[in-house]
Structure 1
Amino acid sequence: MKRTITHLADGRELIYFDRRDDADRSAIDRRPLGPRPVASELRYDPLTEEWIAMAGHRQTRTFLPPADECPLCPSSETRSSEVPANDYDVVVFENRFPSFSGNFGSYEEAGGLSEVRPGAGRCEVVCFTAEHSSSFSRLSDEQVELVMEAWADRTAELSAIEGVEQVFCFENRGEEIGITLFHPHGQIYAYPYVTPRTKLQLAAARRYAERHQGRNLYADVLDAERKGPRVVAANELWTAFVPAAARWPFEVHLYPHRQVPDLAALSEAERSAFAPLYTSVLRALDGLFDVAMPYISAWHQAPVRQERELGYLHLELFSIRRAPGKLKFLAGSESAMGAFVNDVLPEEAARMLRSQVDH
């Protein structure tokens, strides 16, 4: 793999990940870009003890442009995009409309009981392929491995930034989910705090270890699920299963069989084994109702500086589609109270997905 670092016209970093060592990445971004926005403002909610990012500049981000105006496609002689090269394998660059960044401005007190501080951190875009009309499910195994190399590289690099507490790699797919660009891509958030969901899970893992002679909660969940009826697909190094208490109509968790804290810690064999298993599950989702399923794919990694021994890298994949023409909306109970009601029995969801997995 060849890794090439360059910069866009406004100073944002861009990194090419190529299979070929002779890939030419000398193209320059000549667009007349304006100044970069200042970092968001973090406000503390004393009622939930959570930090909320206020990022007004994101209101102006590009929204569902036509294919010939896609900012993630390679540049051409007649049009410049976010990627100066006329082709690429995988590319990562700093988000033009970040939720977190190192470009600080001035911040005033919000009043009340809310503390205010800069939204320090970093947000990156990961383009999985130069092919605008493709999808992650259609990537070759080799291409998925290159994406994983990029995820691992960025996890290690972002974890080394002062003040970053957690690194989150994810993909949003589908208009129903709220995407703003159709091109196959994901994002990486380097948070200046440990996220609320991770805090809850680590607290549960900590209590479990105290009650069970130091055993790891995630490892025991995986072990139990591998013996049960909700396994969707598996190989020697990974297992994909629907969790017993799934929140979403179709939700699949993918675990490596070896406990590792993050993507950077995966072995070459584990990265290779992930690719065919994951894309088969994605195709199974699409096959359920013969439509491109909207989904969120979220890597859960251990925090950068605390309780890493409790963490266990895994991916959570879920769709809000519950039936043909029907979506799972987060209405009163879920949105107001955080109390989920699932319309699809997890065992039935696993059976339906198994029937669609490539054999």
Structure 2
Amino acid sequence: MKLLGLVGSNADLSYNRDLLQYIQKEYVDLFDLEIFEIKDIPMFNQSQDLTESVLIQNLKRKIFQSDGVIIATPEHNHTVPAGLKSVLEWLSFKIHPLQDKPVMIVGCSYYDQGTSRAQLHLRQILDAPGVGAITMPGNEFLLGRAKEAFDELGNLNDEKTRQFLGETLHKFVRFIGVASQLKEPEPLPEEDLHATGQIATTIPDVDMHAEDWVEQAIEKVKPVKGATYVELDRGILTVDQINALLKSIPLEITFVDANNQFLYYNHNADSAQMFAHRKPGQVGNPIGDCHPARTYKHVQAVIAALRSGQTERVQMPVPTHGLDKYVVHNYAAMHDDEGHYAGVNEYILDIKPIIDFYLKKTGQQLTGGSVDAVSSASQKVTPPIAPQVDAISSASKKD
């Protein structure tokens, strides 16, 4: 289970951050907790819409991809800090990632009340239209006198406090399970699999369906080639070196852009020898042209989930390649430097040789259970995917 811990303070020193860090290390066997800092997110200003900024989009994706959220809030003037309130404003302005998301509230304070009034206020905010979180009822973890609560290693000193926190966290895990049964799947926008629109990198006036799309596009845009150097994120390579590098990678790599146009695959084998059977004449096609119509709803489900930020990656074993192989199709969302969706990187590989190599080198064995060539206990596919898819406070205090 994956949870997101939201530090409700933008202070450099915060007992609420310490509490989340304690939960993160102490309950690693119960869930995977990722801690998110709000201190770099600018204050909410409707006149300067930053909904599409990297920071807010990144937070949106992390909330979407988590099973639940733990918010650790200080108490400032009997309420939540301005920074936390501002973040919740961003998350209910044009985007609503907390809608129907299970949330648990915890909090530390210097005094005996342990953020009780702030927690009550936060519950009201989380219940507001536009936020719509499912806040766990009847369980408050209020840590008062926080300065004395932690030892030098960041652990909670009091045994009863540790026990109560553990009980509350176990209840939250069960609460997430119950809440997930009540939640209706969020409808995602329909994907244009025929790429009828355009994006900034679309090459205009070249027929996407043409067998020689690549040659026509080259003639149109005059791309660099050969020994011409290309500046990359961390390195400089020639076009020839980039091609050689991509062909040498022992994966089948396919790139579909944000307009759902199939633009590239690393052509290192003939079509008949490939798991996905890519053909040179398919490059340039809308992704819909690369699949039979019966698979469209599954292709749309994968792309819509990646585009929306509901998930960053979909993994799907495909059993049709024989019992001597375990072929996995991986679909990863790509983003530009501004955090905007940039397309799908599909990479396909047979992982059985990797597993065999590992077992041989370590002397370990696979034991127990039966082989299921279609699904995996560690696999989480959202939404459902069918096997046919081959697509592409003050400075002196911590709060």
**TM-score normalised by the chain length of structure 2:** 0.24
Report the structure number with the largest CA radius of gyration: 2
More strand by share: 1
More helix by share: 2
